[in-house]
Amino acid sequence: MKYFIDTHDRTRNSFPAEEASQEQFLAIYSGMDEALLSEGGFLSGAHVNLAEGKAFCHTAAADEAAVAAAHEKIGLPYDSITQVHRVSGIDLR
């Protein structure tokens, strides 16, 4: 399993045009989790600013194509999908 961060930004038309409520965002998030599960992956978290219309979603999947396919399944655009590796303070010591 590999880890990815995908980005969404209202100014780039990859986040709802109108400010989303927390409930609306959670509904989208839930749909994305289901779509990723169907691709063999899962969502592990997101950092979101609803007022600014930005989200940074952390996912796990076999490859970038699985993350992209999950987005397409629910009609959710994205700006980028980047494979990432976790680094913690322990790794720096």
Nearest to 47 by CA among 7, 92, 81: 7
What are the structural domains, with CATH classification, of the chain? 2-92 (3.30.70.3090)
pLDDT of residue 2: 95
| pLDDT one-digit tens code per residue, 42-63 | 999 999 999 999 999 999 999 9
Provide the H-helix boundaries in the chain: 22-38, 64-74, 89-92
Query: CA 41, CA 32: separation in Å to the nearest integer?
Result: 10
Q: pLDDT band at 19, cuts 50/70/90? A: confident
pLDDT tens string 78-91: 999 999 998 887 87
Are the C-beta atoms of 20 and 58 separated by less than 8 Å? no
93 has pLDDT over 90: no
**In terms of C-beta distances under 8 Å and separation of at least 24 residues, what long-range contacts does 21-24 make, across chains too?**
21/50, 22/50
* CA distances (Å), origin 47, targets 7, 34, 59, 93: 10, 19, 12, 27
In this structure, what DSSP letter does residue 79 have? Answer: S
pLDDT at position 10, please? 95
